[in-house]
Structure 1
């Protein structure tokens, strides 16, 4: 009886150890990014890098990520790829700024593969006037990358900058 009990215990302990080890390997291999806290951490770090001037959340975009700017701004539409979005919106926006915008996060919320970032951003346009706006971005994540995004912001402030300041070629 004791021998059977010991063997049974040893088998159960081995199975538990293997399951724990596999779980650890899954977390260390990127599965962590599929959890709400993992996705939130990934996005938080990208915003921290943006604030520090060492990166941006646009680096999280998968090449085929779509980005939709909601509402009625001059750039409101769906951009089918990362490159289309960067080419038509981000690069022309940055070319209008003498001091790029820096975000101040109000909140980041994650639920499964979705992350919502509410933040304010401020910078200085090439004409010396401040640019300040409030944003809400909705990310759909897969394997640590953004596959789809929707953005909401004050279109009046954005349109004013877009019309007032020509991009620096």
Structure 2
């Protein structure tokens, strides 16, 4: 209980800080932690990177919610994007262009409105950001499209370099199979 209260009071220090608190609270002989200053610097750097990554994703989703296409600026050109599940779109895409052409465009070309994301949670852990959101749009036939998503995004220098996506692939495929693409 003491460990949890100490961790909670510190307000989200890194796991290394939690381990330090746990070891010290046990009162084990010789439990001194070497290089505490180095650990604190690493913790501060990790926390700063985590906050920056979360802020980048939050800002992108705010722009997306406003109707701006954000994938070109959020994804690294060589992003590896995996869609989990079964169905024609499930698989791994090895770059931004491949992901957009093979996975995103088949759906978005059959939507009369952009997908409007409603973010429920964003979690950060160092270079990883996990976002859970719902997406809604109207198809080219006028039917509603609704889906739920969880994306696990690994970031580097403010860009997504690796992503895993979980969504209802049946809902995705129904839009692709039952709606004509927009004429552009």
Pairing 1:41–2:55 present: yes
Alignment RMSD, CA only?
1.9
- CA distance, structure 1, for counterparts of residue 135 and residue 141 of structure 2: 18
| TM-score, normalising length: structure 1 | 0.77
After superposition, the Cα gap between the structure-2 partners of 1:39 and 1:94, relative to the gap in structure 1 and judged at 3 Å, is same
Structure 2, unaligned stretches of length 5 or more? 1-40
Distance apart, 1:87 and its partner CA: 1.0
Larger radius of gyration: 1
Higher relative contact order, structure no. (Cα contacts within 8 Å, ≥ 6 residues apart): 1
Aligned residue-pair number: 140
In structure 1, what is the equivalent of residue 141 of structure 2? 127
Moved over 6 A (4+): 31-34
After superposition, the Cα gap between the structure-2 partners of 1:79 and 1:67, relative to the gap in structure 1 and judged at 3 Å, is same
| TM-score, normalising length: structure 2 | 0.71
Superposed, 1:66-145 pairs within 5 Å as 66-145=80-159
Higher strand share: 1
- CA distance, structure 2, for counterparts of residue 95 and residue 65 of structure 1: 22
Choose from 134, 151, 157 the match for 2:171: 157
After superposition, the Cα gap between the structure-2 partners of 1:100 and 1:138, relative to the gap in structure 1 and judged at 3 Å, is same
Structure 1, unaligned stretches of length 5 or more? 1-22, 24-30
- CA distance, structure 2, for counterparts of residue 72 and residue 137 of structure 1: 17
8 Å Cα contact 1:73-1:158 kept in structure 2:
no
